[in-house]
Structures are given as C-alpha cells and as structure tokens.
Amino acid sequence: MAELRLQKVLAAAGIDSRRKCEELIVAGVVRVNRKVVDELPAFVDPEKDVITVHGKRIQAARKVYFLLNKPKGVICTNRDPQGRKKAIDLIHTSERIFCVGRLDVGTTGIIILSNDSELANKLTHPRYGLAKTYVVGIKGQITGEQIEKLKKGIWLAEGKTGRASAKILKRGHKESLIEVTIRQGLNRQVRRMLAKVGLPVKSLKRTRIGKLDARGLGVGKFRPLTKTEVAYLNKTTQVQRSAHNV
Ligand code: URA
C-alpha cells in the first residue's frame, strides 16, 4: 500500500476533518509505531503502521465501493447549502463516502461512490481516459454532420475535447436520441458539447462507466461493486492513454 498523508488516514478513520486532524498531529497527541509525530507532512502506511490518537489505536477505514443509479434532482456534492437531496444519502453505509466524479443535478444514471480517494483521483483523471457513455434526449432532429462534429472534438473554454463516439439511436421529428461516449469528465461536458453543435438537451442519462452499467439497478437504487469490478477499475487506472487533448 502506498504511503498516505497522516491527516488523511486519521480523517478516513473518522477521527475528525483533515484540518482538525492536522491540529491534533501538531498538538503531539498522535503516535505512529509508538513515536510521537508532531510535524507535517508525515506519511504512513495504514495497513502496516500502528497509529494512535490520545493513546487509542485508530481503525483503518474499510474501503467501500458502490454503484448508484442516480435519480434526477439528487446532487453529487457532500455539502449543499440549499439542502437538496444528496447521492450519499441514498447509500446505506457507515463509511464516509463521496461521489467519484459528478453528474449534474438534472442528469440521471450510474455513478460510483467510495471512500477510496486514491482510486477516485485516478478514475477522474483524464490521463486514464475511462470511457463514459451517455444517452441523450435531444429536442428536434439531429443531422449526420452534427454527429461527425461531436466525434471529431468540440472547442470548449478548456480546449478541444478529445475524440468521442456518437451515434443516433432514434430519429424523430420532435425528439431524437443519441448515444455519446467521452473519455474526459469536464464540467457539464456533454451538455456543452451538444450546445456547441446547436442541439438542446432534453434529458441526459449515464449508462456506462467503462465496463460497468446499470443492469438490474432501478433508479435510486445502489449495489456494492464486486471484487472483480474493483480490480477492473484499479487495472484501468494503470494503463495510461496518450494523445489527449483536454
Ligand atoms: N456531461 C454533462 O453535461 N452532465 C453530466 O452530468 C455528465 C456529463
């Protein structure tokens, strides 16, 4: 296991916030393998090191991973001054979890929640290019030309988006459905890409994250990821993709 910052390990074990844990460390009440550690930065291996706070050994947080089928109106941040329903409220666990990446409040579909910040950072880093697939409801019709533009990449404020997959699932006069796969996770990326090619989004649903999908998972429901799925996610973050634009 990699060495982690001591305050992060304490916070993950439920001692207090990272800031408060830093204060505890500096106050000299934290020991690692019996020695007082009162200077920062300090790094530990929570699987090997014996860490105590006020003489009491901390319990390393168990790593947990869930897949949620997020309903509309639910937010992906852990704090909301407006008091809206949060994705973490839909998961029954005693661990301090957070959303891995984000779906907008109006977007539905699958999202991973976990307390494993190391894996979360990698999964959301564009370097690893994990594919995310969305089914998008569009107002009106869509042309082949618009699909081609989406595939080639769209200029957004951050730069040009990478190559995407895009295909028409249903052509209608009033409404069309398309499927888009992207490998980055810029803020409101799909909505902004579609706006740039003149397509107003009526609905947005994430249907796949890499190999994971919503099969058997009703809206608002969650399930733990299997060991195989967690191993798969760890493996995908070992393979770095090159040639990324954004
Ligand atoms: N792209 C968006 O525009 N919104 C999401 O929620 C996810 C991807």
pLDDT in tens, 123-179: 998 888 899 999 999 999 999 999 999 999 999 999 999 989 999 999 998 999 999
170 lies in some domain: yes
CATH number at residue 99: 3.30.70.580
Same domain, 140 and 203: yes
- 191 C-beta closer than 6 A to ligand 1: yes
232 lies in some domain: no
Same domain, 137 and 107: no
Same domain, 147 and 203: yes
In angstroms, rounded to a whole number, what is the distance separating the alpha carbons of residues 73 and 104? 9
Instruction: Please tell me the distance between residue 189's alpha carbon and the centre of ligand 1 in angstroms.
Output: 5
Both tokens of residue 182?
């992207």
Tell the residue nearest (CA) to atom 7 of ligand 1. 103
Burial per residue of 172-211, b for 16 or more beta-carbon CB atoms within 10 angstroms, e otherwise: eeeebbbbbbbbbbbeebbbbbbeebebebebbbbbbbbe
Same domain, 138 and 194: yes
Inter-residue contact 72 to 206 (CB < 8 Å): no
Ligand 1 pocket check: which of 111, 193, 204, 205 to mutate, most ligand atoms within 8 Å of Cβ?
204
Both tokens of residue 176?
């069309």
Mean predicted lDDT score pLDDT of the chain: 92
> Rounded to two decimals, what is the model's pTM?
0.81
- 133 C-beta closer than 6 A to ligand 1: no
Same domain, 159 and 222: no
74 lies in some domain: yes
DSSP-assigned beta bridge partners for residue 160: 155
Instruction: Please tell me the distance between residue 178's alpha carbon and the centre of ligand 1 in angstroms.
Output: 14
Strands 108-114 and 98-100: antiparallel
Query: Among this protein's residues, is 104 annotated catalytic?
Result: yes
Least-confidence region, from 51-55, 58-62, 84-88: 58-62
CATH number at residue 188: 3.30.70.1560
33 lies in some domain: yes
231 lies in some domain: no
CATH number at residue 31: 3.10.290.10
171 lies in some domain: yes
Same domain, 153 and 221: no
User: For position 60, what pLDDT does the model report?
Assistant: 75
User: For position 244, what pLDDT does the model report?
Assistant: 46
Tell the residue nearest (CA) to atom 5 of ligand 1. 103
12 lies in some domain: yes
- 72 C-beta closer than 6 A to ligand 1: no
- 189 C-beta closer than 6 A to ligand 1: yes
242 pLDDT above the threshold of 60: no
- 184 C-beta closer than 6 A to ligand 1: no
Which residue range forms the structural domain that includes residue 163?
Answer: 131-209
246 lies in some domain: no
Write the pLDDT tens digit of every residue in 201-210: 999 999 999 9
C-alpha separations of 73 from 2, 105, 177, 197 in Å: 37, 5, 21, 26
2 pLDDT above the threshold of 70: no
The domain total for the chain is 3
Both tokens of residue 123?
């999964």
Instruction: Please tell me the distance between residue 210's alpha carbon and the centre of ligand 1 in angstroms.
Output: 16
- Ligand 1 atom closest to 103 (CA): 6
Same domain, 20 and 47: yes
- 114 C-beta closer than 6 A to ligand 1: no
